Amino acid sequence: MDWKGRDVISIRDFSKEDIEFVLKTAERLENELNEKGALDYARGKILATLFFEPSTRTRLSFESAMHRLGGSVIGFSSAASTSVKKGESLADTIKTVEQYSDVIVIRHPMEGAARLAAEVAEIPVINAGDGSNQHPTQTLLDLYTIKMAFGKIDGLTIGLLGDLKYGRTVHSLAEALTFYDVELYLISPELLRMPKHIIEELREKGVKVHEMTDLEGAIPELDVLYVTRIQRERFPDEEEYMKVKGSYRVNLEVLRKAKETLKVMHPLPRVDEIHPEVDKTKHALYFRQVFSGVPVRMALLGLTLGVLEV
Amino acid sequence: MPENLKIEVIPEGTVIDHIPAGKWLKVVEILHLTKPNGGTLLIASNVPSKKLGRKDIVKVEGRYLSEEEVNKIALIAPMATVNIVKDYKIVEKFNVEIPDEVVGILHCPNPNCVSNHEYVLPRFRVESREPLKLRCHYCERTIEGEEILGNL
């Protein structure tokens, strides 16, 4: 696979080999970073971060990754201060920004915006979230976190908890997990069940899927519990949100029934789904998960810029 | 009574046969034949058919179809056949075919899809032909059934 100039738009564009290659490259970079402190693969290269809607965490993670690679960063963190406010098309913004940079990372409220940007730009474009569609780098860092924690992904039993209906991260993660030999527990309130077409796809691809509403029933089986926030902003009406708000709370009491080796993940930010008392336990993997964003994004930036040896 | 006696023949134009019964109006709509355009428009609905059980037929006088129009018909009536008539004779006959990619024909029903906001041709990849299921190239949402018909 020729990575130089490649766009990273959707996890659907990736094969298992692609995913494994990114994870391996991220591991290599993480080790190099630990040894040397700073790297200079991307010296002289510029990353443009175009955040048409705010996402501090993802933006900082990409910026950190580019700095760690020895490159530099330009960009904006909301559309309010850009020519978009003046009515400029997305295509024109992209064509302009590519004159200033070597790689573009885009976060946009509209679904498909990253795909359109990639069609317009001649430099690589990386999707940092397009509406409720895709967030492929989050999925890759989730997989990387699991792999680093267990040394493997195959053979694990993974629970996805919370908002499985609107949660973009769990949709892409579930899709990516079809490449692996895993068993999935989908735990959510009835109102927030995983969309039928995704469950069908999982089953068609041979993943053993259990759907349930009860966390306590599932927890003894799990190697990984991936918790999501029930996102108020995704609900069409407040009443629906109020019915499911605070449905699950992962605390020490709940974890008493878990395997000792269970790891709890969360794409963060959290509200009240995981009690802070869990942070100090060996189950908590979510801050390590945040860190994983850096080597994974370093790998993607380095590969698409063509500055890493493949 | 033989079917061809029920529907008048046309001297020049196109006969679209094997439309699923009840879908003739959609065919007329997507070909923009709802307004008088000079030629005669003949419609037969609920005609017995060996292939479909019941079918509709649309005959358009003095009009031939573009590739885009044929592709649109394929989305509504994948079993349809198109007959080109010249001087009262069928000079060409072909089956419509659903292409691998549907470009510029139907809009994405997702109001938040970028294709509904930017200057771009809507594009769908055909995921399955039977039943017909399309995936938007941009927002990746899949659409099927009535949702496809409603957005043509």
A130, amino acid identity: D
DSSP string, A118-142: HHH-SS-EEEEEETTS--HHHHHHH
**Which amino acid is located at B24 in the chain?**
W
Give the CA distances from residue A181 to residues A42, A161, A206, A209, in Å, rounded to whole numbers and listed in that order. Answer: 36, 20, 8, 12
pTM for the predicted model, two decimal places:
0.88
pLDDT level of residue B152 (50, 70, 90 thresholds):
confident
In the prediction, which pLDDT does B9 show?
A: 82
ipTM exceeds 0.95: no
CATH fold for domain A137-290 = Rossmann fold (3.40.50)
Q: How far apart are the first and last CA of chain A?
A: 9
Widest CA span in chain A: 56
Residue whose C-alpha is closest to residue A298's, from A144, A169, A130, A152: A144
Of A25, A45, A49, A58, the catalytic one is A58
Q: Which residue has the higher pLDDT, A307 or B99?
A: A307
What does A256-277 look like in DSSP terms, one character per residue?
Answer: TTS-TT-EEE--S--SSSB-GG
Known catalytic membership, residue A58: yes
Chain A nearest C-alpha distance from B149 (Å): 20
Q: Contact A113/B140, CB-based, under 8 Å?
A: no
Block residue for tokens 């789904």: A273
Nearest CB to A116; choose among B112, B118, B140? B118
pLDDT tens digits, residue range A209-239?
999 999 999 999 999 999 998 877 767 777 7
pLDDT reported for residue A17: 96
Give B120's contacts in chain A (Cβ within 8 Å): 91, 116
User: Which residue of B113, B115, B118 is in closest CB contact with A89?
Assistant: B118
Tell me the count of A-B CB pairs closer than 8 A.
51
Domain boundaries of chain A, sorted by first residue: 11-134+293-305, 137-290
- pLDDT tens track for A22-52: 999 999 999 999 999 889 999 999 999 999 9
Just give the CATH number of A11-134+293-305.
3.40.50.1370
CATH 3.40.50.20 corresponds to the domain B101-150: no
Segment B14-43 mean pLDDT = 86
For A122-160, the pLDDT digits (tens) are: 999 999 999 888 999 999 999 999 999 999 999 999 999
Any idea which of A21-25, A248-252, B30-34 has the lowest mean pLDDT?
A: B30-34
In chain B, residues with a C-beta closer than 8 Å to the C-beta of A113 are 114
Residue B139 labelled as part of a binding site: yes
Comparing A11-134+293-305 with A137-290, is the CATH topology the same?
yes
Provide the pLDDT for residue A79. Answer: 76
Q: Does A266 participate in catalysis according to the annotation?
A: no
CA separation, residue B107 to residues A110, B75, B148 (Å)? 15, 13, 9
Annotation says A95 is catalytic: no
> Is B113 one of the annotated binding-site residues?
yes
Q: Which residues have a Cβ under 8 Å from the Cβ of B140 and sit 6 or more positions away?
A: A10, A12, A111, A112, A133, A134
pLDDT at B4 over 60: no
Known binder of ligand: residue B108? yes
Which residue of chain A has the CA closest to B115? A112
Region A55-62: mean pLDDT is: 94
d(CA A246, CA A273): 7
- Tokens encoding A81: 């201060």
Contact A91 B118 (CB under 8 A): yes
The string of pLDDT tens digits covering residues B90-126 is 999 999 988 899 988 889 999 999 999 999 999 999 9
Q: Which fold has domain B13-95?
A: Alpha-Beta Plaits (3.30.70)
Q: Is it true that the peptide bond before A269 is cis, omega within 30 degrees of 0? A: yes
Q: How many CA atoms lie within 13 A of A159 on its CB side?
A: 25
Residues of A in contact with B115 (CB under 8 A): 112, 116
Q: How confident is the model at residue B2 (pLDDT cuts 50, 70, 90)?
A: low
Q: Where in chain B is the domain with CATH 2.30.30.20?
A: 101-150
What is residue B37's predicted lDDT score, i.e. its pLDDT? 66
Q: Where in chain B is the domain with CATH 3.30.70.140?
A: 13-95
- The pLDDT, as a whole number, for residue B7 is 66
Q: Which of A10, A91, A111 sits opposite B110 (nearest CB)?
A: A111
